[in-house]
Amino acid sequence: MNTPPPFGTATVTLNRPGGRALMTDAPSGPMIGLSFKNWLLTILTLGLYSFWAKTNVRRFLWSHTLAYGERLEYTGTGKELFIGTLVVAVAVFAPLAALGTVSQYLIESGEPGLGAAVQAFQVVAILYLVNVGVYRALRYRLSRTRWRGVRFGMAGGGWLYGLRAFGWMLLTGLTLGLLVPLQTASLTRRLWGEARFGDAAFTFTGRAGELYKAFFVAMAGMVVAVAIVVGSFAAAGGAAVLAAMEQSDTAMDDGGDEDAVADSLPAADDAGVTPDIDGDGVPDVVTGPPLSPLPFLSLIVAIPLGMLSLVYYQAATIRFLFNNLRLGDIRFRADVGAGSLFALAFVNLLIAAASLTILTPYTTLRTLRYLCDKVEMDGEPDFAAIGQNRQAVPGSGEGLVSVFDATDM
Amino acid sequence: MGTDTTIGRGHFSDGLTAARTEVDVAVEAAALVVLGPGRVRRVVWPLLDLRPVDVPGHGAEVTVTCIAAPDARLTLVGEAVVGALLAAAPQVAPKPAGPTGRSLLAWAVGGIVVTTLVLVSLPAITALAARLLPPSVERVWGDQVYAQVRLLLGPEECTETQGFAALERLVGRLAVAAGLEATDPFTIHVLPSSMVNAFALPGGHVVVLDGLLRKAAGPDDVAGVLAHEIAHVARRHVTQRAVRDFGLDLALTATTGSGGMGEIGRSLVALAYSRDDEREADEAAVTILAGAGLKADRLGPFLETMTAGRKTDGGPAHRSDGEGAAGYLTIISTHPATAERIAILGELALAHADTGETALSATEWAALQTICEN
């Protein structure tokens, strides 16, 4: 710009309150109160209020997040989420559900091939749309976020992204998960490469190689955990355990299959003779050595090992995502470790469980605090050079992730 | 500028770039003005056109925008000027973040009360809803479920003539005693599985497995089991359970999402109602047997037999090792702990201790035991 700034040159200096460019001052008490309020109103409205509940949680969290000392704004409304869901329910979900019925009908009226094809098409369509929904959900949230009045944004409808993501889903599935780091790197680049703050673009430059080290360590951990479980069950006479569990002997079952196996297993009598109560010459149940506790003890070791491996990889992924993300001159930096991430996740799980998930928004607050503590922004961007976002703004949002249940916040 | 003008400091973003400038602001009688160098009036926003920007309130700052420039943001800093603006344009007052203190308590208590009400009234609601399900729909659904049972347990049905005739006669007496109308759908099936079990399906299908017939000490054991299953049908437990599961699913998904905790909560609640149904069926069974003029005191002992693997005629005793474990498993089982059921049945049977006739004659019983030998 050539004209002198009309308000003088006293640009607000970039604040780093407490030395941090990114921080949150969200208070716990009001968030807990908000969680209860959301919960009650959602029950009373049989779930209808959930759109407004989500919105006011986001407004709370966004407005308590500060970048360079200034707050983010969330400008979305519950009505937009509601309409987004309604549109998808009518225009997408209903036809797909109808396809399901059609395929059932075809199968039952003697056209199994055609029926299976229709069903396959329905499944493929749903998987594709879920991936499109991920793109569109981010786009909606970005378009409803402002800082200093400047909007974030994202172009495009997500249709091509959905195709790529679906393709990666297949590829990763076929290779039994070995391509997960590649998938993460590629899709994140495509997703965040389209994101904007004003007219400044985000860029993601992460290469999968960085993530593979952690990936293989985590895989090793998982393999060891599974081996421990399998090995100890095999050692304890796995065949006998399985056979005994198949004999569901509980009286007067009403068709459910949640019977306690324990109160229906006759055990071998003391002489070690196979019981044959009804005397028809056929043994009543396959007997074997009594169930030793070893297989179950192994779970005490294997489950934490498995979970730690997952958390280890998750922490590496978070570091990978932030460390390679840029916005113009701003570089992000994340210092997330597996231990602290595990502690966060574990306590969040306890809180959610103890409150029967009423306090889930509060756990989101804890996660926000954690991230703001671990993530930092480096660089001195020239904000005067960033213009307002002029992209078309989606009218409503998140219908796809809402209907296909792929949303987390 | 008039005497009722307050001047203070602020930060301003014009919404065209991400720049933010320190400015002087003036709160006048009818407008909020941003002043440029030399106190030139750069931006004039009528007070009535001001809108709050959603930031959590605290006394020393307020952020506003104007409907004519929705991308612009102006933050006033300093108690004097903030106070002046709030007095002149109260619509821009920041709203508190979330309920605290008494408000929080009120919301929490309200939530708990409502949830309790819903759970308590659920049986009545689902009973009503189940009654509204058209019998034709239930019959079709029941036929489908039975078809799946056949898929699992094999396509053969036990239909040996004499045995089946004996069974039908017995079942007929029990059905009348249970108050089943001729129009109520009801079909009895015997399947050649060695499992010791019997169950009721939607649409009035009752399935008895051969293993149970073989394990019974006499026809009254079988009559007890049949009475229990017929009670399920007469009280429409199966349909009610399906409606209730669906309703619970709907209600709890709405409030708690479909995450893992929601699933567990749903299961626990559903199982609690299942156990209520079983208790009710046990009580009704005794009433039905007595009403049909049959012995009503064999259901408890037969339950004990089936779970402890012991015949009450003095055969070899095999105590189930799992009985202790079964105690703590009650909460996750669909049936109240068997010991509890046996105790309750024992008490109920006391009133009918030596009354009633044997369910089947010796010939009929012999025929029933060979029903699966075609």
The pLDDT of residue B329 is 39
**A&B contacts, CB < 8 Å:** 264
> A12: which chain B residues are within 8 Å (Cβ-Cβ)?
11, 20-22
Quote helix, strand, coil % in chain A, to nearest 5. 60, 10, 30
Cβ neighbors of B308 (< 8 A, separation 6 or more) are: B317, B318, B319, B320, B323
Q: How confident is the model at residue A408 (pLDDT cuts 50, 70, 90)?
A: low
Contacts of B212 in chain A (CB under 8 A): 251
CA distance B190 to B157: 6
Dist. CA B186–CA B150, nearest whole Å: 17
DSSP A144-197: TEEETTEEEEE-S-SHHHHHHHHHHHHHHHHTTTTTHHHHHHHHHHHHHTTEEE
Query: d(Cα A291, Cα A265) in Å, to the nearest integer?
Result: 12
**pLDDT tens-place string over residues A344-353:** 999 999 998 8
B321–A267 C-beta distance less than 8 A: yes
Q: Which residues of A touch B21 (CB under 8 A)?
A: 5, 7-12
Chain B residue numbers touching A54 (CB-CB < 8 A): none
What is the token pair recorded at A86? 């309604």
Percent helix, strand and coil across chain B, each to the nearest 5: 55, 15, 30
**CB-based contact B238 A255, cutoff 8 Å:** yes
Find the helix packing angle between A112-143 and A94-108, rounded to 10°: 170
pLDDT, position A353: 85
Residue with tokens 């703001």: A372
Longest Cα separation, chain B? 116
For CA atoms A30, A66, A327, A385, the dihedral sign is positive
SS3 B3: coil
Which three-class secondary structure state does DSSP give residue B158? coil
Least confident range from A5-14, A153-162, A189-198, B306-315: namely: B306-315
A301, pLDDT greater than 60 = yes
pLDDT for B364 equals 87
Alpha-carbon torsion angle B66, B68, B70, B75, nearest 10: -30
Distance of CA A157 to the CA centre of its chain: 22
Instruction: Return the residue in B152, B255, B275, B313 with the most chain A beta carbons within 10 A, the one to mutate for interface testing.
Output: B255
Residue of A nearest to B54 (CA): A73
Q: What are phi and psi of A311, to 5 degrees?
A: -65, -40
Which residues of chain B have a CB within 8 Å of the CB of A267?
A: 318-321
| pLDDT for B232 | 87
What's the CA gap between B57 and B93, in Å, rounded? 8
Instruction: List the structure tokens of A311.
Output: 């958390």
Tell whether A176 lies on the interface with B, counting CB pairs under 8 A.
no
A chain contacts of residue B248, beta-carbon cutoff 8 Å: none
How high is the pLDDT of residue B118?
73
Give the β-pairing of B61-66 and B50-52: antiparallel
Which residues from chain A sit within 8 angstroms of residue B265, using beta carbons? 356-357
- Top pLDDT among B271 and A279 is at B271
CA distance, residue B259 to nearest chain A CA (Å) = 9
Contacts of A254 in chain B (CB under 8 A): 199-200, 232, 237-238, 274, 277-278, 334
Q: Please say whether the beta carbons of B263 and B185 come within 8 A.
A: no
Instruction: Using alpha carbons, list the distances in angstroms from residue B322 to A113, A135, A261, A264, B329.
Output: 47, 52, 8, 7, 10
Burial of A350 (0-12, 13-18, 19+ CB in 10 A): exposed
- Say if the Cβ atoms of B199 and A255 lie within 8 Å: yes
Predicted pLDDT of residue B57? 59
| Residue A234 distance to chain B (closest CA, Å) | 22
Give yes or no for residue A264 having a pLDDT over 70: no
Residue B276: closest CA among B125, B118, B123: B123
Our CA dihedral for B70, B71, B77, B80, rounded to 10 degrees, sits at -20
Q: What is the DSSP letter of A404?
A: T
The verdict on a CB contact (< 8 Å) between B255 and A256 is: no
DSSP letter assigned to residue A92 = I
What number of other Cβ atoms are within 10 A of residue A68's Cβ?
22
Whole-number Cα distances in Å, B359 to B159, B192, B286, B296: 20, 22, 13, 10
* Mean pLDDT score across all residues of chain A: 81
Q: Which of residues 109-168 of A touch B (CB under 8 A)?
A: 147-151
**Closest-CA residue of chain A to B217:** A278
In this prediction, residues A264-272 reach a mean pLDDT of: 33
Identify which of A314, A357, A354 has the alpha carbon closest to the alpha carbon of residue A336: A314
Chain B interface, best mutation among A252, A388, A408, by max B CB count within 10 A: A252
Residue ranges for chain B with pLDDT beneath 70: 1-3, 57-59, 96-98, 100, 246-273, 308-337, 374
- Max avg pLDDT among A123-132, A266-275, B146-155, B322-331: A123-132
The residues facing A204 across adjacent strands are A325
For residue A278, what are its two tokens?
């009804």
Contact A405, A85 (CB under 8 A): no
- Of B12, B110, B278, which is closest to A40 when you measure between CB atoms? B110
Q: Does A29 touch chain B (CB under 8 A)?
A: yes
Instruction: Inform me whether the pLDDT recorded for A263 exceeds 50.
Output: no
pLDDT of residue A368: 96
Q: Is the pLDDT of residue A131 over 90?
A: yes
Chain B closest-CA separation from residue A174 CA (Å): 27
pLDDT of residue B317: 35
Residue A103, pLDDT score = 80
| Both tokens assigned to B263 | 């699933």
Distance CA B28, CA B42 (A): 14
Query: Is beta strand B41-46 parallel, antiparallel or unpaired with respect to B198-200?
Result: unpaired
- Spatial separation of the C-alpha atoms in residues B21 and A13, rounded to whole Å: 9
Higher pLDDT, A182 or B340: A182
- Burial track A16-52 (b if 16+ CB lie within 10 A, e otherwise): eeeebbbbbebbeebbbbbbbbbbbbbbeeebebbbb
Q: Give B78's DSSP letter.
A: S
The alpha carbon of B105 is separated from its chain's Cα centroid by a whole number of angstroms, namely 26
Dihedral pair phi/psi, residue A337, rounded to 5°: -110, 155
- Picking from A233, A260, A297, the residue whose alpha carbon sits closest to that of residue B320 is A260
Can you list the positions of beta strands (E) in A252-381?
325-327, 330-334, 375-378
